[in-house]
Structures are given as structure tokens and as C-alpha cells.
Amino acid sequence: MTFQPFHFSTFQPFNLSTFQLFSMETNEYREQRLASMAALREMGFEPYGAKYEHTDLAVVRENFNEGATERIAGRLMTIRRMGKMNFATLCDGTAKFQLIFKRDELPEQSFAAFKLLNLGDIIGAEGTLFTTQKGEKSLIVKEWTILAKALEQPPEKFHGLADQEERYRRRYVDLMTNDDSRERFFQRSRIIMETRKYLWSKGFTEVETPILQSQAGGAAAKPFETHFNALDQKMVLRIAPELYLKRLIVGGMNKVFELGKDFRNEGIDRSHNPEFTVLEVYEAYGDRTSMEAIIEGLIPHLCDTVVGTRRIEYGEAKEIIDFNPPFRRVAYNDLVKELMGEDWYSIPFAEQLERAKAKAAETETNLELDGVETTLMLTHEVYDKLIEKNLRQPTFVTRLPHEFVPLAKACKDDPSLVDVFEFVVGGRELCPGYTEQNDPIEQRKALEHQAGEDTEKIDEDFISALECGMPPTGGLGIGVDRLVMLLTGVDGIRDVVLFPQMKS
RNA sequence: GGGGGCGUAGCUCAGCUGGUAGAGCAAGUGACUCUUAAUCACUGGGUCCAGGGUUCGAAUCCCUGCGCCCCUACCA
């Protein structure tokens, strides 16, 4: 059989009503692509191909060997048709590579069928490596096959997909189009892998504790509720793994961590997604300072292995954050005195109020002073609005007021303070670390105080575990999404979560 | 929760005080054997987010709804 060149004008095996049988939405592009798909079939090219042995484009690029034969596969990102010699860019997620479809080098039918390829189609190609006069590493295609026909038109090649909503809702389009977005998610994956490797290297064991729980504990947040049909029982999704991990410490698993999801039934904004990834670490016979050591080891490790530098550009201002340890350690009260004066804690409340207002005015900051009636509350407002935001470089803020952290152990030398840190970077709290409360009597008091009237909320089994004796323990919880934001230099959580929660 | 903004072709975006809906990319046809945001010529392509209102006439003005973004508040 001799090959007949294909023309749309003479090709009519279908019509519009045929499409409407199986497609709810049709447009010019879809129709044209269905037509070229049918034409490819006519010519013996099955538009949805099979397994294709190939070499990753990054590897081909790395081991480029002029004249060698290679098999590669990927999505067509650009096509530059010039008649008898055509260029295309193939992208497989590891790299991009130029293909050359030359009439001299291809069987007649393959060269003709090339005209039926569209942007977004996935093809496999075999040919010889070649460097163009402009120095572009390329593959001269000797043979190709289509692996998947795309019916949808990909976004514009230059701007990519810019609409934020579309990028979140249809992440696959974002990933195939936007290199920076794709690279960020590969980085996220590496951050998680290196976190595991680091903790394993320090003797920690990864564990999994229940996400589906009968009562939520370990944090103060509204849980998502669900129903367990078999038991006809209300269940919740966990808001923190903490109470289960401490049970493991009681049981003798001395160094454990869990990397998993928490769910909090609260608002969505640029730093909150209702489901988010947390890392919690517990070390028996340790305390807050053991956790500081982990932070000071882990974050530089992630910088070295994933980012390639310990000086990270953060946010739109490209602020440089330096993760070379040691990080600054400073007591909460010292930070307050640094800003508000050495005598801050010895002057009357009225005078504190005046001083706070004056300081706020200097930086045009609004203090929320409604209901602020004590030095403690005022100081905390000052810390929140005037101090924390200015802690740009990595800082452990230690010795916090007991009232704000009821579940940690008090400082030995001052029962009004707790032996914890907040690790602050870029003016935001990245993670807390505790010397955990292991006194079951004190723990019950604190939980009862927190629960108020609603005694049902106390996890009696957890208290019971503490009554079996929990060694002194250091604990740490990191919001992994925020860590990834920091290390990849973006300031929206939706840019580091593959499928952020969106309203349906 | 409060305030502000946005929604127009497959994509990126124009569209003034209301008067027949525009460009670039992409697409179709043709030319072109070193292009790379290829180039050149011609051609096709719209539920202007949805619904209501004002008006002779609405993408444009008003109201309601939906979605997204920003600021702010809340948040172990």
C-alpha cells in the first residue's frame, strides 16, 4: 500500500454529533485534536501507546555523547515547524531536550505523521545525538511513536499558567508548564527524605500513630468530625500526634518521630491549610536543649543537601536568612526588656501601657489593647506585634510565660516560666520545642484547666500512661509545609502543597 | 468575621465617561533543511463567571450569588 498524504479537507470519518456522544464539552482545539488522533490511527500510529524503554533527559544531557543513539520520551512543549527540518522541545520532568524532525532522516510516513502532532502530546523518540550550530544539544529523530495524545491545549508557552486558582485546582497543568513550581515540589520531596535520613542517623525511629481518633488531643484546635459506621461512633481526625508519641516514650521507644498529617477545622489563609504535614520528635532522657540541637543539626543538613546554601533568600524582598549554627538563644523576658527598657517589669501597669503605645507609634504598629488588663497580656501583645516580627534570623526564644504554654514543664528556677523554646525565623514562629511535662498530677491539672467544664475532653488513657512513669523528655513539632516554604523561599502554603484545599 | 480587588478566546491580557468584542501566543492552510518566545502571508475562534435590575442600548452602571487574590481579625 502506498502512503497517501493526509489532508483535513479529504478526511471525514466523523462529524460533530459523533463527538457529542462522548464529550460534554467541545471546542475547536478538541475537535482538531480528535481529528489528528483519528488520522494518526489511520496511518498506523496508536495514539495511546505502551511501555517505552527510554533514558531520562537529565541523564542524556549529563552524558551527552555526540553521534550516540538514544531513546527518550516526554511531552512536546514547543514545536517550530520549518518545512523539511523541524524542531521541538521535549520535556520529561527531569529536563528539556530538543528534537529535530528532518525529512532526510525519517521514513516518509513518520515525517508526514509528524504534522499531526500537537503541543502537549507525549511521544517517544529514537535517534542520534547532535549539537546544532548554535550549540543546542539535540536528538535527530530516526523513529518516533506517540505514547499519549493530548486533547486539551496546553497553556501559553511563554507566560505559562498564571491564574493562581487554576494552578491550585489543576496542579497537573501547573506542573507540566511551570518549571519553578515542579522543581519546588521535587525539593519538598527531598526535604522530607533528608529529614528522615537525618533523624535515622541520630538514632530516631519513625512511627505511625492513629489519625482517626475517638478524641482529639495534643493541641487546642477544632477537629474535623466523622462517623465510624461499624461502631456507630463519632470519630475525629487528629489535630496532633503528640499524646500517642508520648505513650511510646512511656513504653520505652526512647527516640521516635512521626512525619504525617494533622487536620484542623479552622480557617484557610496563606500560612494555614486545614490538612498539613507535621514532624514531631520525642527524645527520652532529653529536654528542650536536646530539641535545639536537633534543629541546629537538621536545618543546616537540609540546606546543604537540598538547597545547596545555608544563606536562603526568603520572601518577595529576597531577604537573606543565614542558617549557619549556632542560632541565637534569648529569653523571652530579655527580649522584652531589650525593647521596652530594663525596668519594664518594675514599673506600674499604667506606665507600661504608655510606653507600649509610644513604641507602637514609632513603627506605626497597631496594638490590640481591648481587654488587656495585666502586664502579662500587655507584654505578650508587645512581643507579638513589636518583637517577634523583627526576629529575622534564626532564634530560639526561651523561657516563655507559663500561662501561654500550659502543657510544658516549669523552669526549675522560676515556676512562672516554662522550659520551652519557640524557634522563630523571618519574623514567624517555625516550631516549638518543649521540656515535656512528665508529672501526671501536674499534667492532669493543666489539662483540666485547659478543658474547663468539659471534662470529657481529657484523655484519661494518656494520663494513665504518664502514671506508669515517663522519663524526662524533650519534644519538638515542626510544621513541615512552613519549613518547605522557608527553604524554597516562597511565602504561601498553597505553593508548597500539591493539592491545597479549595472550595468546591 | 470586617475591608478592598479580580473573573473577557485554549493561555497571557487590553477594552476610557454605556454605542456592532480586541491584541500576542496557541490553532488551521500555505512558504521555508540550524530553529529555539523562529519568521512571513491568509483564515477560523467569545455563555465577556452566573442570575436579576436600570437603559432605546450593558463586558462596562446597580443588586444578589459563586469562585479566587490581597489586607485585617481569629488560630497551641
Helix (H) or strand (E) holding A250: helix A242-251
CA distance A360 to A374: 18
Strand B bases near protein CB (under 7 Å) are: 10-13, 24-39, 44-45, 66-76
Q: Is the CB of A79 under 7 A from strand B?
A: yes
Q: Is the CB of A106 under 7 A from strand B?
A: no
Q: Is the CB of A132 under 7 A from strand B?
A: yes
Residues 388-407 in A having a C-beta less than 7 A from any atom of strand B are 406-407
Q: Average pLDDT for residues A122-132, to the nearest whole number?
A: 97
How do residues A408-429 score in pLDDT, each as one tens digit?
899 999 998 999 999 999 888 8
Q: Phi and psi at residue A213, in whole multiples of 5°?
A: -130, 160
pLDDT on residue A22: 35
Nearest nt to the A177 alpha carbon by C1' = B11
pLDDT on residue A13: 32
- Using CA atoms, how far residue A36 sits from A89, A332, A396, A409, in Å, is 20, 68, 62, 70
Rounded to 5°, angle at Cα A361 from A359 and A362:
65
Q: Is the CB of A457 under 7 A from strand B?
A: no
How do residues A58-74 score in pLDDT, each as one tens digit?
999 999 999 999 999 99
Q: Is the CB of A227 under 7 A from strand B?
A: no
CA distance A216 to A201: 32
pLDDT on residue A405: 79
Helix (H) or strand (E) holding A375: helix A375-382
- A292 CA to B13 C1', in Å? 50
ipTM: 0.92
- A120 CA to B41 C1', in Å? 27
pLDDT on residue A19: 33
Q: What is the C-alpha radius of gyration for chain A, rounded to an integer number of angstroms?
A: 30
- The answer to whether residues A426 and A315 touch, using CB atoms and an 8 Å cutoff, is yes
- The answer to whether residues A486 and A425 touch, using CB atoms and an 8 Å cutoff, is yes
- A156 CA to B15 C1', in Å? 21
- A151 CA to B52 C1', in Å? 37
Tell me the average pLDDT of chain A: 90
- A83 CA to B31 C1', in Å? 8
> For residue A293, is pLDDT > 80?
yes
- The answer to whether residues A208 and A280 touch, using CB atoms and an 8 Å cutoff, is no
pLDDT on residue A451: 73
Nearest nt to the A115 alpha carbon by C1' = B28
Residue A177 C-alpha cell reads as: 508548564
Residues 235-264 in A having a C-beta less than 7 A from any atom of strand B are 240
How do residues A209-246 score in pLDDT, each as one tens digit?
999 999 988 888 889 999 999 999 999 999 999 999 99
Q: Given the C-alpha cell 493539592, which residue does it identify?
A: A499
Q: Give the model's confidence band at A456: pLDDT under 50 very low, under 70 low, under 90 confident, else very high.
A: low
- A166 CA to B12 C1', in Å? 13
Q: Is the CB of A83 under 7 A from strand B?
A: yes
Q: Is the CB of A11 under 7 A from strand B?
A: no
Residue A479 C-alpha cell reads as: 510544621
pLDDT on residue A11: 33
SS3 content of chain A, % helix, strand, coil (to 5): 35, 25, 35
CA distance A337 to A80: 66
Nearest nt to the A429 alpha carbon by C1' = B76
Q: Give the model's confidence band at A403: pLDDT under 50 very low, under 70 low, under 90 confident, else very high.
A: confident
How do residues A148-170 score in pLDDT, each as one tens digit?
999 999 999 999 999 999 999 99
pLDDT on residue A26: 60
Q: Is the CB of A221 under 7 A from strand B?
A: yes
- The answer to whether residues A450 and A441 touch, using CB atoms and an 8 Å cutoff, is no
Nearest nt to the A268 alpha carbon by C1' = B75
How do residues A74-90 score in pLDDT, each as one tens digit?
999 999 999 999 999 99
Nearest nt to the A222 alpha carbon by C1' = B75
Q: Are strands A319-322 and A311-314 parallel, antiparallel or unpaired?
A: antiparallel
Q: Given the C-alpha cell 543565614, which residue does it identify?
A: A322
Closest of A215, A217, A210 to residue A450, by C-alpha: A217
Q: Give the model's confidence band at A317: pLDDT under 50 very low, under 70 low, under 90 confident, else very high.
A: confident
Residue A322 C-alpha cell reads as: 543565614
> For residue A119, is pLDDT > 80?
yes
Q: Give the model's confidence band at A389: pLDDT under 50 very low, under 70 low, under 90 confident, else very high.
A: confident
Q: Which residue is nearest to nucleotide B6 (CA to C1')?
A: A163
Nearest nt to the A152 alpha carbon by C1' = B10
